[in-house]
């Protein structure tokens, strides 16, 4: 049933890249295999680079509201082709009552995560019945880039409190989507 949801949420193809006319945002979507066997496992990703916002939508295996799940998502946003790695990181828990934050960063490692972004808006919405998490970041929060690409990972905690092996990247570790132009 969950794989049907993922297929319905995105394209039936394993990889879809759609570039619409100037009035529409560029959209990228990909299905991701079940590889962590935890509710936070990402099954599909779509990224829309619109005129006002960048929207990152992930479909998961079985999101739950309980904090004991430890479900979390990290979205790395690259806005500069000339500077290797991400310039922003959106960090969020995927369980009820958690918080989220968009930060500047100089890379993937936590030690490189900088101060919270103060300009622009960003929001996370989790729909537990549909196993969907949607992050919307305003263009102002990301420094008004012409194009973006993202790398996304999710993590979780087992019922015994361990988390080893519950890190799921969309695609390969630290791999980005293709560059998406502003629509």
Which is nearest to 58 in space by CA: 155, 135, 165?
135
Six-digit token string for 19: 């570039």
Environment class of 47 (CB within 10 Å of its CB; exposed 0-12, middle 13-18, buried 19+)? buried
The model's pTM is 0.81
Query: Rounded to whole angstroms, how far apart are CA atoms 90 and 128?
Result: 20
Query: Rounded to whole angstroms, how far apart are CA atoms 126 and 134?
Result: 6
Question: Could you give the domains of the chain?
Answer: 2-173 (2.60.40)
pLDDT tens digits for range 86-142:
999 999 988 888 899 999 999 999 999 999 999 999 999 999 999 999 999 999 999
pLDDT tens digits for range 23-78:
455 778 776 555 555 556 788 899 999 999 999 999 988 788 877 677 789 999 99
Based on its alpha-carbon atoms, the radius of gyration of the chain, rounded to whole angstroms, reads 15
pLDDT tens digits for range 79-89:
999 998 999 99
């Amino acid at each position: 049933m969950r794989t049907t949801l993922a297929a319905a949420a995105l394209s039936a193809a394993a990889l879809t890249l759609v570039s619409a006319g100037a009035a529409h945002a560029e959209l990228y979507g990909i299905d991701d295999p079940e590889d962590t066997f935890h509710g936070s496992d990402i099954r599909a990703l779509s990224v829309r680079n619109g005129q006002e916002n960048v929207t990152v939508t992930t479909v998961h295996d079985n999101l739950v509201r309980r904090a004991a799940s430890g479900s979390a998502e990290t979205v790395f946003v690259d806005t500069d082709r000339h500077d290797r790695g991400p310039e922003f990181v959106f960090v969020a828990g995927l369980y009820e009552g958690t918080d989220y934050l968009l930060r500047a960063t100089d890379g993937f490692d936590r030690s490189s995560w900088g101060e919270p972004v103060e300009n622009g808006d960003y929001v996370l919405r989790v729909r537990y019945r549909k196993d969907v998490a949607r992050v919307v970041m305003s263009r102002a929060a990301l420094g008004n880039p012409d194009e973006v690409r993202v790398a996304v990972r999710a993590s979780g905690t087992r019922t015994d409190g361990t988390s080893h092996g519950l890190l799921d990247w969309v695609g390969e570790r630290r791999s980005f989507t293709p560059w998406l132009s502003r629509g």
